[in-house]
Every structure is written in structure tokens, then in C-alpha cells.
Amino acid sequence: QPLNFTIKAARFSHSSPSTTTRLSHHQQQLVNLHVNAMPNPAPKEDTWAFNPIGSPFPENPVKVLGQQNMYVALWYKNGKPVHGYAWNDGGVVQASFPYGKAELTGKEDLGGMIQVS
């Protein structure tokens, strides 16, 4: 079964914007440990399902890598997509999304409707 993962490279501005930092030996070991971890099961279908906040949690959503109860979520603010995460709160959907300088959660902040992959 293929293992899906993403490695994000960090770019730091030391003397110029083009200076990049390589992974140290310890950081590379941590990446190798993470990559060799058990893969997430494949979702039953590759779609985004609409879920009201507080509705029953969907079956087999896409997990955030390395997290136990955190799933990929999508929400639209003024027609623009915002990625965040959802979690199973006693069998119901809860979610959090970054927007501006705030973290939006719950029905009041999110308007009640999100999508979980």
C-alpha cells in the first residue's frame, strides 16, 4: 500500500531571501521515523462532504498526518476556500479554521456548515 506524505521545506531569511536551511541529522531522523509510520487508510471516496457543525461524524475521513483525532476540513469565507481541521467530539463534527489573526470554531464563527474530506 503506498504511503502518502508531504514534507514542507522551511526557508529562513538570514542574509538573503534565497538562503535555505538544510535538515540536520536529527531532523532527518525524525522525518524518517514519521515516513516509516503506519499509513492512514485510504478514504472510501475522494469527495468533500458537507457536514453541519454538531452533525454525526463522517465515516473514514482523511486524517491529518501524525495526529490522532484531527481530519482535513474545508470552509468558505466570502467565497474563498480556507483549509482547517475537524475532529470527532463524542461522535459529532467540530472544526477550527485560521482566518486573519483569529481561530474560528463553532456554529457562530463558521455559520454551521463545513466540508470534511
**% of the chain surpassing 90 pLDDT:** 35
**pLDDT score for 113:** 85
In angstroms, rounded to a whole number, what is the distance separating the alpha carbons of residues 93 and 79? Answer: 22
Is the pLDDT at 94 greater than 90? The verdict is yes
State pLDDT tens for residues 26-78. Answer: 556 555 555 555 666 666 656 788 899 999 999 888 889 899 999 999 999 88
In angstroms, rounded to a whole number, what is the distance separating the alpha carbons of residues 65 and 53? Answer: 22
Q: Cα 109–112–115 angle (5° rounding)?
A: 105
